[in-house]
Structure formats: structure tokens, C-alpha cells
Amino acid sequence: MSMVQAEQTLQEALAAYDLGTLVSDPVRFGEGHINDTFLVDAGERRFILQRISPVAFKQPKDLMENIVNVTEYLGREIEKLGGDRRRETLEVIRSRKGETCVADSAGAMWRVFAFVEDTICYQAAETPELFAASGRAFGRFQRLLRDYPAHTLHETIPHFHDTEDRLRKLKEAVAADPLGRAKDCRADIDFMLARESDCSVALAALREGTLPLRVTHNDTKLNNVLMDDQTGEALCVIDLDTVMPGLSINDFGDSIRFGANHSAEDEPDLTKVNFDLDLFAAYTDAFLEQAGDALTQAEIRYLPWGAKLMTLECGIRFLTDHLEGDGYFHISREGQNLDRARTQCKLVQDMEAHWSEMNAIAARYLSE
């Protein structure tokens, strides 16, 4: 539904910007699940035009304020390190009136970013080197923002990585069961409910003060980082919609969830979905190489929990959306969110089977 709406109002959004003369019509771009993303080709320069998901984001202006402030801060830090801020962080392009985003006639908000050229956005960690490069990028992101005043950030999605709340919402969706789908996912629901106490582990550590609140990205999958197509190194962390105060172990964990395996997130054949401990180790090394100094011993100790909980939570979210009728995550076929939920459960199961090895890998970085 939203996919069609975006096409209908795209021209209105485009008219609010002065991007030069377009050489072709904007085309859908990328494989994000949330926003509607288009590539705009103005010959000399290219741009990303995005319709911000009104389902996911209720306060798009606050969200844009976060992104402008964070990218300006990152830009200054990158320059201090001798880097190129125009390639190493996002650049928000203003509308003719100087706005960071513009409304269409249906009330949705649109924004424009400079297209970061000569990069590749991977959908799967094809090699350990590639996965490690993304780990360095997110580790560096964590380090660069370590002194950013977290309290000035808007919470763009309340309770985003509140795993207890996510499970509560799953239970509500199961109880309401508006499409009668629950009967076909009983085993998946039971798998998640059996892990109810796990859902509190990181949150309890936060409440007790064992884990600190930091500025985090909160959506660290591999396709939210652009790789330099010449050097193969990670260049630019994108998709900053969910930069908020959060847990560093969740940034680590969400990358592991998506990247430490060799299958698509929606692979229907679960025999192909296997957690890869070597990829886990490669990412851990790379993430801590860059973020290490900024993290406490407790954060390092809890890294495996970050991996397991982000995977479990994402499974819970996919299943909730499936039960509620797929209003949140974009789908291209029926049952896709159920398949996504099932891959996450399989990965959680694998992580549980490799739990002591995962902890041993993280423990290599403990100094106590």
C-alpha cells in the first residue's frame, strides 16, 4: 500500500527541491525494509530521495533534526582525522526553502541525501574480510560518537530495542490474531515465549547500571554501510533514522544477527540458515579494534547476549508484523515476514548451541 502511495506523491516531493535537470525518472533503489528509497539522476550529481515511513516514524522532523546534528558532528570528527566528510558520512540536502524534509499532499515526509558514489552496498557478508570491514565501520561509529551529548537526541521510535515490550506486543498480536494466522505459527510463537526470561537480560543489566546508555545506531545491518568499491573498506554508515541512546551490545548484536550466516534473511529453507562462528569472531575482532577503548569490560562480556537478543527480538518483530498483516516491514510476497521470523529463530538456536564458544571469543578481549 505505502509502496504505491510513494510513487503517487514522489513528483510533489521532487518539486520542492532544486537538484538540477534530471536525466531520467527516479527509480526505486536498495533493499531497505522501511522507507521508500529512490535514486535521482541529475547527470552531474546523483541523489537519494526517500519517503520516510509514516508507519515507523511518527515524528519525522525530530528524526531529521537528529540526523542533521549527528552527521554534522560526525563530519567535524572525520575532518579532524583527515577524512573526507562528504564520502564518510551522509549529507542532508535542503529543499528550496531550506527545510530538512518536505511533506507531500498525503502527509508523508520526504528527504534527500547526496548519493555516495563509487560504493557497494552488500546484502550478505560474502567474505570474512567484508564482514570485518563493516565491523570496523560500526565500531568506529561508536567511538566517534562517544562524547556526543546523548540527551539531546530525540527517541525516534520509543521502546525500539525494548525486548520485553516487543514480546508483550507479540502476545497481544497472538491474542488478537486479526487474520487467523496464529494457528500456523504455533511452534514459532512457543519458541519465542520459551525465551521470555532472556528478553530481560540486557534491560536488567541496564537498569542495574551494569551496562551504560550510549549513542548508538540501532540498525547495524550490513546493508546500512556503504563499502568503497576501490579499496573494499567500509566507507559510510547510513540509515541514521534510529540513532538514539541505546546499548552498544545491540549495535554489535544486530550486525551479527544479519551478517554472521550465509543465507538471506527471508530464506524459506532453514537447512541453509546456519550461524557462522568464524564470521562472529571476525566481526568481534574488527568491532572491538575500533570501539574497544570506548567500551567497558561489562559491555564486552555481554556482547554474545547482544547477538542473541537482537536476533530473538527481530524474530519477535517479524512474527508480530506477520500476525498483524505486514504493515511495518515491506514484503514482496505473502509469508515473507514469517520466513524472516523463522530464520531468526534458527539462528538463535544455533547461537545457543555455540554459546560457550561465543563467550570464549568475547572473553579474549577482557582484561580482568
Cell, residue 322: 506477520
Query: How many chain residues are in contact with ligand ADP, going by CB under 6 A?
Result: 20
**Cβ of residue 295: shortest distance to ligand ADP, in angstroms?**
25
Binding partner of residue 265 among ligand ADP, ligand GN1, Mg ion, none, CB cut-off 5 to 8 Å per kind = ligand GN1
Q: Are 291 and 142 in contact (CB under 8 A)?
A: yes
Q: DSSP H helical segments within the chain, as ranges?
A: 2-15, 60-80, 85-88, 128-144, 163-176, 186-193, 201-207, 248-259, 277-291, 297-301, 303-324, 336-353, 355-363
Interacting residue with ligand ADP among 38, 110, 115, 160 (CB under 6 A): 115
Helix H or strand E encompassing 112: strand 109-114
Interacting residue with ligand ADP among 19, 30, 200, 349 (CB under 6 A): 30
Q: Which stretch binds ligand GN1 (CB under 6 A): 225-233, 237-245, 275-283, 347-355?
A: 237-245
**Cβ of residue 85: shortest distance to ligand ADP, in angstroms?**
13
Q: Which is nearer to ligand ADP, 34 or 78 (CB)?
A: 34
Separation between Cα atoms, residue 79 and residue 77, nearest integer Å: 5
The dihedral through the CA atoms of 115, 117, 121, 125 has a sign that is: negative
SS3 for 113?
strand
Q: Are 29 and 51 in contact (CB under 8 A)?
A: no
Interacting residue with ligand GN1 among 265, 285, 299, 350 (CB under 6 A): 265
Query: Does 351 contact ligand GN1 by CB under 6 A?
Result: no
Binding mask 28-57 for ligand GN1 (x = CB under 6 A): ----xxx---------------------x-
Cβ neighbours, 10 Å, residue 359: 14
Q: Which is nearer to ligand GN1, 254 or 299 (CB)?
A: 254
Q: Which stretch binds ligand ADP (CB under 6 A): 13-21, 109-117, 134-142, 334-342?
A: 109-117
Q: Which residues bind ligand ADP (CB under 6 A)?
A: 29-35, 37, 48, 90, 113, 115-116, 121, 223-224, 226, 238-239, 241
